[in-house]
Amino acid sequence: MEFCPNCGSMLMPEKGKIKCSCGYTKSLSKNDLIEQYKFKGEKNKDIEIIVTDNLDKALPTTRITCYKCGGTKGYWWSVQTRSADESTTNFIRCAKCGNTWRS
């Protein structure tokens, strides 16, 4: 995990970059992504799903209230987790700021 040199926030992976809510971004090569996040992804399924899910595909939209930017349009998708209970987890991504969370 890396932290933002500008504001110290935790950096989140997004589309081959890591980015901070303050606007700082850092490009990652595919190998960097795998090196830095694969191990973590195995321990934390949420992170892995966000990194590997194809966020460019068309996703259904839903009405949301983003807790970061107050945006009202969001995309959602569901993921079959590989945990023992095999439950489905729904994720929501804010269309305005890209904030992603579990619904």
Which residues of the chain form contacts with Zn ion (CB under 5 A)? 4, 6-7, 9, 20, 22, 24, 66, 68-69, 71, 94, 96-97, 99
Write down the least CB distance from residue 41 to Zn ion, Å.
Answer: 22
Give the three-class secondary structure for 84. Answer: coil
Write down the least CB distance from residue 74 to Zn ion, Å.
Answer: 8
Based on the number of CB atoms within 10 Å of its own CB, is 11 exposed (0-12), middle (13-18) or buried (19 or more)? Answer: buried
- In angstroms, the CA 30 to CA 67 distance is 30
Q: CB-wise, 33 or 71, nearer to Zn ion?
A: 71
